[in-house]
Amino acid sequence: MSVIHLKTPSASYDITIGSGLLRTLSSRLKKLRDKKPFRTFVVTSPEIWGLWGRKFLESFAEPPTVLFLPAGEAHKRLRTLESLTEQMAEAGADRDALLVAFGGGVVGDVTGFLAAIYMRGVPYVQIPTTLLAQVDSSVGGKTGVNLAAGKNLVGSFHHPLAVLADIDLLGTLPAAELHAGLQESIKAGVIRDASLFRYLERNADTVLSGDAKALAHVVAASVRVKAEVVASDERESGLRMILNYGHTVGHAIEAATGYKQLLHGEAVGWGSIAATRLGLMRGLISDAEASRIISLILRYGPLSGFTATAEKLVALTSSDKKNRSGTLSFILPTGIGAVEIVRDVTKAELLEATAWMLALMREKTRGTAAKKRA
């Protein structure tokens, strides 16, 4: 079991990574609340509850109130948030309520935002059930929902009391979800941890097989990267922006496809390839290291294909929440384990890098389709 402590100016909490955490869940929650009386409200999806609900409830003498959030980005909207707040109020939730996010990234983001605004703020705990949520979205206090104009445009910073990443929960994860989540770990290696990147290179077969020990290592290393960055820059005024490597074009891909064709990690994978190509075009990274990054991203695929033009994707980047005073910031790799924040990327450069990524996407997805037919 690994315990990583995250301390920021506004919060201090542990991220616990290990197996069998659900078995002691009730006592862990009581310890977090200093044994004060509280009621537990769980936000989860029907699918996750069907798989893990019985195990979740085993340690509780009095079952918590369960609120269901349908799976998928389409439900990460303000109307869903309103429905959940109404359900909490009807169930008698007060300021001593404890919310628990039990699901993937969408459940975590929505529950965190619900905790931030219900009665002007109640505590919550993250229990991420997907690899992507365990290595990235459950840590750092970012919460929010999407608008038609773009992803995560409405939200707040609201840290959990704790994050409990139970590796056992990954055992029922579909292969595509596992592969997509690993794109965020590749990101962590590219931006700050060359040793994690090398581990992912050398142990790809073991990691992709779902080996619990290997996954625990990858989750812990990825979380350490994020915890270090968030501790240095809680509100994304500088360094924390490096966590957005691959996300500018990735979010544009998600918007262009209506959040229906790709998993978030897959979109980040293609966005990371575009950002790496842009770094290569600018001479920030060597051919050899850029090739290693792109090869590793593809090794942890296959990444789903999609239909969009470079012009459409570039236009959609203008809605990215990382825009400041009309200037779009890009995170470009300068080597494996290091990146640079660049604020003068031109439209022509972005079009060229995005078109190159799309050509590669078409080539790789044609090859995948041909193998399936064979």
Q: Which of 177, 234, 236, 254 is catalytic?
A: 236
Contact 93, 130 (CB under 8 A): no
Contact 193, 225 (CB under 8 A): yes
Burial of 175 (0-12, 13-18, 19+ CB in 10 A): exposed
Q: Which residues pair with 103 in a beta bridge?
A: 128
Task: Please choose, from the candidates 159, 160, 173, 163, the residue with its C-alpha nearest in 3D space to the C-alpha of residue 131.
Answer: 173
- Among 146, 187, 192, 244, the one annotated catalytic: 244
Q: Which of 75, 76, 142, 158 is catalytic?
A: 142
Look up 244 and say whether it is catalytic: yes
Residue partners of 321: CB distance under 8 A and separation at least 6: 150, 151, 152, 153
Residue 142 appears among annotated catalytic residues: yes
Cα(331)–Cα(243) distance, rounded to whole angstroms?
Answer: 8
**159 is a catalytic site residue:** no
CA distance 156 to 141: 8
Q: Is 247 an annotated catalytic residue?
A: yes
Catalytic residue from among 79, 120, 371, 372: 120
Cα 184 from Cα 265, distance rounded (Å):
7
On the question of a cis peptide bond just before residue 302, with omega within 30 degrees of 0, the verdict is yes
Strand 98-103 to strand 124-128: parallel, antiparallel, or no bridges (unpaired)? parallel
- Count the Cβ atoms, other than its own, within 10 Å of residue 196: 23
Task: Write down the catalytic residue from 76, 158, 192, 226.
Answer: 226
Catalytic residue among 179, 192, 251, 277: 251
For residue 145, what are the contacts with CB-CB under 8 A and spacing of at least 6?
76, 77, 78, 80, 81, 109, 110, 113, 152, 154, 155
Query: Catalytic one among 177, 184, 234, 254?
Result: 184
Single out the catalytic residue among 75, 187, 192, 264: 264
Active site residue 240: yes
Q: Name, in order, each residue with C-beta under 8 angstroms of 192's C-beta and a sequence gap of 6 or more.
A: 225, 228, 229, 242, 337, 338, 339
Pairing mode, if any, of strands 162-166 and 124-128? parallel
Helix (H, G, I), strand (E, B) or coil at 59: coil
Q: Which of 179, 192, 247, 277 is catalytic?
A: 247
* Annotated catalytic residue within 187, 240, 277, 292: 240
Q: Catalytic site residues?
A: 120, 142, 184, 226, 236, 240, 244, 247, 251, 264
